Structure 1
Amino acid sequence: MAAGCATSTPDKPSALERRQAIRDAADKTYRSSEGFQGAHWGMSPDEVRATLPEATVAPDGTLRMKTTIAELPAEVSLGFLENRLAAVDVFFQDVADPRTFQSLMRDLLTRKFGEPKTAREVKRQVKWGDVPVRFAADLAPLQEADGAASAEALESALAGQGQFKVLNRWTTDETHVNLTQWTLPARGLMAIQYESAKYSPRRAGLIGRYTSKARQELVKDL
């Protein structure tokens, strides 16, 4: 009798592929308990806009809103990585007394995120590049940006001319927060820059619109 040919079966996924599939599925459903106000890390743009209805897509394609925080006007930009909320910047341009403002924000952020890093820890981390200062608007815009409007964004001025100092830093399992003082040639401002701890490593190699790395790439065009 002729031996029958064995029927081939599709290869089963490897253990590595199965683990990756599980991670991918978890990423789709991930929603942190932390973030900015009612907007939590991992939310989609639609979910964030439902939570923060005053947020709209600006001409540069970034989700932005104007609000009042601690009785001061603030401008907020919200950045998404693969359509998941990953970073938020809050800019305060009308701070008359930066020292009092820092003291107030330090107290409020400590109530939310626990004790901040010590001044020595922050200084060491900044020196070794372990405290990346980047913008939520560096992430991919939600829609095609108007080139002229994008060039006028506050982040563009800060990246090109601004000097910064990280005053305080908080880290939890879910969130990294920097209280930052920015100085421009003609003025200064304060900022609270929030970043998802989960998405932070995936931003490390990203060339954002307002990073020095992005500008270096543009030099090649000249």
Structure 2
Amino acid sequence: MNSKGLKRLGAAGLVFALGLTGCSSTQTGPSTLERRAAIRDSYSKTYRGAEGFQTARWGMSLEEVRAAIPEAALGEDGVLRLRTAIADAPAEVTFGFLKERLAAVDVFFPEVKDEKTFQGLLKDLLTRKYGEAKHPREVKREVKRGLIPQRFAADLAPQPPAPETMEGTLAAKGAFRLVNRWVTTESLVNLGAWRLPESGVVSIQYESAFYAPGRTAEDRRTFNEAREELVKEL
């Protein structure tokens, strides 16, 4: 083939490549990210974790959780709550649902006299269940980088926690300190200490690893909507 033929072949190849590019740019339908999100949402409806809180498992519906823990009651604020005793201490438990699936559970201990001893007991029990806690230095770095958001299971309810609830009180008056953290393939578990003006509250906050990305996306959406409302005031 002479040099003119090679030039014609090269030009034809370029036109063919441009044609393919043009075709790909005009394709319609969901993007790869949208397809992945759709698959994840579909799987979420049938997902049931091996972990969770007591007999309630990640991915259960509200009805399934109430059947598993019949002592839990639905409050006027639309939040499923349970008053019980754990490790011989009074506890308040809150269940959070993302897209109608159990995604988070908070356990608060508001009547602990010796917080340090009680935290040590909880750390031992949680280590027996989930393995060794993450190294404190690693947790400190993650907190500093904003990789461990502080949020409540009740935040997943249609309306924000009322001021008289445990979450409302802690959000308004509490100072939080992360004591220990456990991470498994299914759960993210934080042992924390809250300091109120006249008392302290020990907490265990469980979160589904499967639903955590969706929960973060929901937090981001809520934040952006709040900012848009503030923009309207300027």
Q: Please indicate the TM-score interval, normalised by the length of the shorter structure.
A: 0.7 to 0.9
Structure of greater Rg: 2
Q: Secondary structure at the match of 1:204?
A: helix
Alignment of 1:174-185 (within 5 A): 174-185=186-197
Alignment of 1:21-170 (within 5 A): 21-141=38-158, 150-170=162-182
- Paired positions, count: 205
1:32-71 deviations in Å (ceiling 9; x for gaps): 0000001010000000000000011112210001011001
Post-superposition offset of 1:214: 9.0
**What stretches of structure 2 of length at least 5 have no aligned partner?**
1-27
> Could you state the TM-score of these two structures normalised by the residue count of structure 1?
0.82
Q: Secondary structure at the match of 1:43?
A: coil
Post-superposition offset of 1:102: 1.0
1:151-196 deviations in Å (ceiling 9; x for gaps): 3111111111110100000001110000000001111110000000
1:53-110 deviations in Å (ceiling 9; x for gaps): 0011112210001011001110000000010000000000111111111111111001
Larger relative contact order, structure 1 or 2 (CA cutoff 8 Å, min sep 6): 1
Q: Secondary structure at the match of 1:60?
A: coil
Match of 1:171 in 2: 183
Q: Say what the alpha-carbon RMSD is for the aligned residues.
A: 3.0
**What stretches of structure 1 of length at least 5 have no aligned partner?**
1-11
Aligned partners of 1:207 and 1:214 also within 8 Å: no
Post-superposition offset of 1:216: 7.5
Letter in 1 for 2:64: E
Post-superposition offset of 1:23: 3.1
Call closer, same or farther: CA 1:18–1:131 in 2, change over 3 Å. Answer: closer
1:197-219 deviations in Å (ceiling 9; x for gaps): 111111114349xx999987887
Q: Secondary structure at the match of 1:48?
A: helix
Aligned-partner Cα distance in 2 for 1:18–1:213: 24
- 1:190 paired to 2:217: no
